[in-house]
Structure 1
Amino acid sequence: MNRSLVAVTCAALLSACTVQQPVARYAISADNRAAIKGIHAKDVAVGHFVSADKIDPNCRGGMILTPPDGLSFAAYIQKALADELKVADSYGDLQPKVTLSGKVEELESSSTVGLTGGYWNIKLLVSSSNGQSLTVQHRSTFKAGFEGSEACRRVAAQFPAAVQDIIHELVTNSAFPALLQ
C-alpha cells in the first residue's frame, strides 16, 4: 500500500512539473518593413521552413515553450517572414518571381545567463528558388529574472522580438537582394 501511494504521489508531482509556456503571436517590425520596401521587391513567395533536430523547447527543465496556433518554431519564422513581406507589398504567391524557403539551423534560448539574463540565438539559412542562399545569425539578449516561472515567461515573451531581429539581419544583409532576383 505504501509503495502504491509513493508511486502515485511521485507520478503526480512529476507530471505537474511540465508546464507549457505559450509564445506570443508575431508582431510586424516597422524597421523590417522599411528595409524590405527599400529593396523594391515584388512577387516574393515564402515556401516551407524546416528546423534542425537540435531545437530544445524546454526552459529550466520544467516548462515547454510553445509557439501559438499549433505552429512549430520553424513555421512561426516562416509565417513571420511572409507577414513582413506582405506589409511591405512584396509578397506574391500566385505567380511568384522567386520563392524563399528556409532552415532554422540553430534555435536556442536560455534564462540563466549570469543568473538573471536571458537570450535567444537563431541561425537561419534562407534559400531562393533562383539558386542563391544566405545564412544569418543573431543573438538577442534580455533580462530574464531569477525566479524560474517568471524567467521562462520572459523567454517566451522575447521570442517575437528575437524573430524580428533575425528577419532584420536577413533583410538588411547586402546579399539579400540577390535572393529576390
Structure 2
Amino acid sequence: MIKRTLALASILILTGCSTMTPPRYSVSVDNVQALKKYENAQLTFSDFKQSAAYSSNCRLMGPIQPADNLSMPEFVAKAFNDELKMADVYSEHGTKISGDITNIAFSSVAGLTNGYWDISVKLTSSNGNSIDVHNKYEFKSGFDAITACNATADALTPAVQDLIKKTVTDPSFSTLF
C-alpha cells in the first residue's frame, strides 16, 4: 500500500508541472508609430542582462518562460529590436543601447482573478546617457491555476509592448541617441 501511494505521488509530481510558454513577441502598431518620429535615428538594443531575481514559477503549474528558448533579457532585447526594425530605425552599426532588467515579477492572483507583470529596465546608451523605465501591466487571469497561469504567460507580450511604449514615448528616450 505504501509503495502504491509513493508511486502515485511520484507520478503526480512528475506530471503536475509543465512550462507555460507565451506566444512569440508581436510588434505593436502604436510602438512603431511612436518610433517613426525618430526617423533619423539608427539604433540597436544589445547586451541585455537581468540583475533582478525572477521567479518563473506560476502557482504549482510550473515555470513561465519566453518562446524559442530565449531568456527574459533576450526576449526583451529582441522585442525592442523588432519594434525598431518595423519603424526603420534599426541598425547594427547605429547607437547601441544596453539594458538591465532591474525588476521583473508577475502575479496570477492579484485580487483573486486578476494578474500583473511588473517590469523595470535601465537603458544605457553608448553615448553615456541612461533612462529608467517601469511598467506594471494588469490583466484578467482567472480563478483556477491552469487558466490563470496560461493567461499570465499570454500577458507577457502585451506587458513588454507596454514597457516599450512607455520607453519610446518618454521624452528622455531621445537622449539615448
Q: TM-score range by the shorter chain?
A: over 0.9
- After superposition, the C-alpha distances for 1:13-72 in whole angstroms (9 at most, x for unaligned) are 112221111111111111111111112343212212111241111111322112111101
Q: For structure 1, which runs of at least 5 residues remain unmatched after alignment?
A: none
The residue that corresponds to 1:25 in the other structure is 24
- Aligned-residue sequence identity (percent) comes to 33
- After superposition, the C-alpha distances for 1:107-131 in whole angstroms (9 at most, x for unaligned) are 1111111110111110011111111
Q: AA paired with 1:30? A: V
TM-score, reference length from structure 1: 0.93
Superposed CA RMSD in Å reads 1.3
The residue that corresponds to 1:109 in the other structure is 106
Q: AA paired with 2:168? A: V
Q: For structure 2, which runs of at least 5 residues remain unmatched after alignment?
A: none
Question: Is the CA contact 2:52–2:104 (under 8 Å) kept in the aligned structure 1?
Answer: no
Question: Is the CA contact 2:52–2:101 (under 8 Å) kept in the aligned structure 1?
Answer: no
Q: Tell me the SS of whatever aligns to 2:171.
A: coil
Distance in 1 between the 2:45 and 2:137 partners?
24
> Is 1:142 aligned with 2:139?
yes
Q: How does 1:36-75 map to 2 (within 5 A)?
A: 36-75=35-74
The residue that corresponds to 2:158 in the other structure is 161
Question: Is the CA contact 2:38–2:89 (under 8 Å) kept in the aligned structure 1?
Answer: no
The residue that corresponds to 1:99 in the other structure is 96
Change in Cα spacing, 1:41 to 1:166, as seen in structure 2 (3 Å) is farther
Distance in 2 between the 1:7 and 1:38 partners?
63
Distance in 2 between the 1:135 and 1:41 partners?
23
TM-score, reference length from structure 2: 0.95
What count of residue pairs does the alignment treat as equivalent?
177
The residue that corresponds to 2:15 in the other structure is 16
**One of 106, 122, 129 as aligned partner of 2:126:** 129
Q: Tell me the SS of whatever aligns to 1:138.
A: strand
